[in-house]
Amino acid sequence: MLFVLIPIFGLMGFNFYVDPYWNFNHAHENNDYQNGFDERLQKTNLLVKNHQPFDSLLIGSSRVTYMNTDSFKQEEVFNYSLSSIHITEYNDYIDFAKKINDGKLNRVYVELSLHSYYANVQPPMGDPKTYFKQAQNRLLDFTSLFSQDTLDKSLVNFEASKNNKYPLQRSYTRENQVKSTYPNDRLAKGKVDFVKRYDQTNYTTEFAYRETYKSELEKMKKASPASEFVIFTDMAHVIRIKTYLKNPNYFDAYERSIREIIDVFGQVKSFHLKNDFTSKDKYWLDFYHFYPEVGDKMIHSLETGEGEGSFYVNVNETNVDQYMSDLKKLVNE
């Protein structure tokens, strides 16, 4: 019996020690690297089990995971950004964060990406409410310690933490901050493949616009009437912007989305400009994701307004026509 129990307790102890699912709140030098394998699960666990009070929320796609909230200087912000987040998921995760935070969110920083208004993008597998229930079931925290899958994740995190390296594209600290020393040697191929894919369509593909987009934004705003919404676009490489919007159908859909966002929220901060950060490859770890230093600058701009006109544009009903005109010139240059 002893020969059976020793390996079992060893497995449980090691998995507890490293804690790859963020079920417990201990932090040390051998678990300060955390692989982000399922942010819907991990960040929900972090909210429920290791909750630290926060003032506001930051939510968006995988790009926003690279916006480290320790760069906010005027308030405490929790980053609930998720890989491939779908427009239908925002409300559930915002509402859950608000519930955990005693019903209060001063601000909700929301990234709306180029795909947020595309009808053919399907929601990821997994109902948000399933993640919420799992995170609040303490029994699952302990049964997961018996898992070989948990052990595999623990070993990856332990080895990386021990060596003080963040070798993957997105590696988290125990404070939900992203670190990356990932080389961008696949960036050049990513650009070529992206442009080639759109070239093959002759830029005539119809765009399937999400007809419920505006009503979903209205629902988001209505659900949190006491919160200030700060809406911003994704940060995109300028080649991606120019290639994507070269198709007039896509350009028209983009303009419609911008105008609908303004109708609901009054304004949107657009990072769809040409500047060093959108043009120089050194700021991009792949064709879709920037390094955290760019996220730091984005947060500084959102919080202070610095960089308006060169790093971002605050688009509202008074300048939206000029913004779209300038964007068309960029696409056609």
Q: List the 107-112 sheet strands across, edge first.
A: 77-79, 56-59, 107-112, 228-233, 267-270, 313-316
pLDDT range class, residue 3, cuts 50, 70, 90: low
Residue with tokens 């009070």: 53
- Measuring CA to CA, how many Å separate 266 from each of 87, 110, 259, 293, 308? 19, 14, 9, 29, 17
Report the DSSP pairing between strands 107-112 and 228-233: parallel
User: How far is residue 150's CA from residue 16's CA, in Å, rounded to a whole number?
Assistant: 10
**What's the total number of domains in the chain?**
1
CA-based nearest residue to 88, from 115, 53, 57, 54:
115
For every residue of 264-289, DSSP letters joined together read: HHSEEEE--S-SHHHH-GGGBSSSS-
Q: Which residues touch 123 (CB under 8 Å, ≥6 apart)? A: 86, 88, 89
Provide the domain limits for residue 92: 2-332
Report field, pTM of the whole predicted structure over 0.85: yes
User: How far is residue 302's CA from residue 270's CA, in Å, rounded to a whole number?
Assistant: 11
CA-based nearest residue to 251, from 260, 242, 261:
242
- pLDDT tens for 196-251 read 998 888 888 999 999 999 999 999 999 999 999 999 999 999 999 999 999 999 99
Adjacent-strand bridge partners of 57: 78, 108
Report the DSSP pairing between strands 171-172 and 77-79: unpaired
- pLDDT tens for 110-143 read 999 999 999 999 888 789 999 999 999 999 999 9
**Residue 29 maps to which CATH number?**
3.40.50.1110
User: How far is residue 35's CA from residue 234's CA, in Å, rounded to a whole number?
Assistant: 23
3-state secondary structure of 219: helix
Q: Which residues touch 197 (CB under 8 Å, ≥6 apart)? A: none
**Residue 1: predicted pLDDT:** 53
User: How far is residue 178's CA from residue 67's CA, in Å, rounded to a whole number?
Assistant: 8
- pLDDT tens for 242-292 read 999 999 999 999 999 999 999 999 999 999 999 999 999 999 999 999 999
> 42: buried, middle or exposed (CB in 10 Å: 19+, 13-18, 0-12)?
buried
Q: At what angle do helices 213-223 and 90-100 cross, to 10 degrees?
A: 10
CA 38 to chain centre: 12
- pLDDT tens for 5-50 read 567 678 899 999 999 999 998 999 999 988 888 999 999 999 999 8
